């Protein structure tokens, strides 16, 4: 009972100590808040409103008042860079490096920021020079990521491959990117008709990523150029297992190979089979032309109707109207011409490839998205959405 009584007496003391500690902490917080310059809050408010010019001016004023605030100077440098004021960002980071007050562990961080300033200003060589010196420090990972971007921009694919392999981790293997870099090298050798070297690069690409569609496309091109038509067909047909959405990119190549072998109807049958199995493939125009040439206009129209009914599209309707123009009366032909022209206009406006990562849209297909830099992210077939 005596022990319980002592505890009851201690409870008010504990509450009193807690109240006193809270009062002390609150006074400290209020004192610190009053010591923050009003320009700091103006800068934050401007950033929230996306007024970067006002924010830069306000934060620069705070930085002048509190020159030793490294975090604030880092923010200000990034803000200058974001606004395109690269000269000011470079000057600020160089002044920080020249300062004897800058702690040693902060120097690599500032150098990394300076490299980004030089890159944004177009001085890629100077950025690379700085980044190479950071590869053995605590900013090695960030430096390698920047170097990878630089090598891709400069199309230095061998250095890009080496850097990507150094960046490999459990979180990101970079095998997808390495395969594309080898494909770039293979495509360059194919343009120079060095089939042996191109074939070697394709083998490296497939070793890095066995589902690399682009490598199979290039391999088929190599075989076709060397006259190995059956091998070319086999390479292009392997795309069905890798990613069937890219079959449309190999469709005309496949038909040309079958035509050169003297078996055009077999090529048409293969492509029609693809169209029935994968209605989203852009094969209607190609099949119409080839069927009309080898099987007649009636069969070609039948094929177009089948494709449009399976998956309606503006491009398919345009081709269907065009195929029936000759059967119409002069007045009907004029009406159909108006409808056809309108459909063509909207089809060309709406039919685009889209990047699955950033939704960038383009009528041209890219293996490397020009907006976000992702590889093999463009939809293989144009959509009308």
Contact 266, 293 (CB under 8 A): no
Sign of the C-alpha dihedral, residues 12, 14, 17, 22? Answer: negative
Q: Is 368 helix (H, G, I), strand (E, B) or coil?
A: strand
What six digits make up the tokens of 161? 């491959």
212 is in an annotated binding site: no
Q: How many CB atoms lie within 10 A of CB 242?
A: 19
Query: Of 242, 253, 316, 254, nearest to 279 (Cα)?
Result: 316
The answer to whether 357 is annotated as binding is: no
Give the C-alpha separation, 89 to 114, whole Å: 8
* Distance from the Cα of residue 230 to its chain's centroid: 35
Interhelix angle 297-310/264-277, rounded to 10 degrees, is 20
Task: Calculate ∠ Cα 359-249-242, nearest 5°.
Answer: 85
Query: What is the rounded CA–CA span in Å between residue 219 and residue 59?
Result: 56
Across 151-177, b (16+ Cβ under 10 Å) vs e yields: bbeeebbebbbbbbeebeeeeeebbbb
- Tell me whether residue 183 is annotated as binding: no
Closest CA to 263 of 303, 290, 301, 296: 290
CA 232 to chain centre: 30
Number of neighbouring beta carbons within 10 Å of residue 371: 14
Write out the H or E segment, with its range, that includes residue 114: helix 104-120
Compute and round to an integer the Cα radius of gyration of the chain: 32
- Lookup: tokens for 71: 């975090």
Q: Cα–Cα–Cα angle for 50, 87, 139, nearest 5°?
A: 85
Q: Which helix (H) or strand (E) holds 332?
A: helix 330-350
Exposure string (b/e) for 346-357, b if CB count within 10 Å is 16 or more? ebeeebbbbbee
Binding-site residue numbers are 355, 358, 369, 372
Binding-site residue numbers for Fe cation are 355, 358, 369, 372
């Amino acid at each position: 009972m005596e022990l319980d009584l002592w505890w009851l007496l201690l409870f008010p003391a504990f509450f009193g100590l807690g109240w006193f500690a809270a009062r002390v902490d609150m006074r400290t917080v209020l004192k610190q808040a009053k010591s923050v310059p009003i320009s700091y809050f103006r800068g934050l408010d401007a950033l929230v409103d996306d007024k970067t010019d006002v924010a830069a001016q306000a934060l620069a004023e705070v930085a002048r008042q509190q020159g030793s605030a490294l975090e604030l100077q880092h923010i200000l440098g990034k803000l200058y860079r974001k606004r395109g004021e690269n000269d000011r960002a470079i000057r600020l980071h160089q002044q920080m490096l020249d300062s004897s007050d800058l702690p040693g562990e902060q120097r690599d961080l500032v150098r990394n920021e300076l490299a980004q300033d030089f890159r944004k200003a177009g001085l890629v060589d100077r950025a690379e020079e700085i980044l190479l010196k950071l590869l053995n420090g605590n900013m090695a990972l960030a430096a390698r990521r920047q170097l990878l971007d630089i090598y891709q921009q400069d199309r230095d694919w061998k250095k890009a491959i080496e850097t990507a392999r150094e960046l490999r981790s459990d979180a990101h293997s970079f095998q997808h990117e390495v395969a594309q870099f080898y494909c770039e090298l293979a495509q360059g050798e194919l343009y120079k008709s060095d089939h042996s070297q191109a074939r070697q690069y394709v083998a490296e690409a497939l070793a890095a990523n066995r589902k690399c569609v682009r490598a199979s496309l290039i391999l088929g091109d190599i075989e076709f150029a060397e006259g190995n038509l059956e091998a070319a067909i086999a390479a292009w047909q392997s795309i069905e297992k890798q990613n069937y959405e890219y079959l449309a990119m190999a469709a005309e190549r496949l038909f040309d190979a079958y035509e050169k072998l003297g078996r055009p109807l077999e090529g048409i049958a293969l492509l029609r089979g693809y169209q029935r199995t994968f209605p989203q493939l852009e094969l209607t125009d190609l099949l119409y032309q080839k069927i009309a040439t080898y099987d007649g206009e009636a069969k070609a129209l039948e094929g177009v109707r089948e494709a449009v009914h399976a998956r309606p599209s503006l491009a398919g309707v345009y081709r269907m109207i065009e195929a029936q123009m000759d059967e119409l009366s002069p007045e009907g032909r004029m009406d159909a011409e108006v409808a056809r022209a309108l459909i063509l206009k909207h089809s060309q406006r709406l039919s685009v490839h889209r990047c699955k990562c950033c939704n960038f849209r383009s009528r041209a297909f890219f293996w490397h998205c020009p907006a976000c830099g992702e590889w093999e992210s463009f939809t293989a077939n144009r959509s009308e959405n």
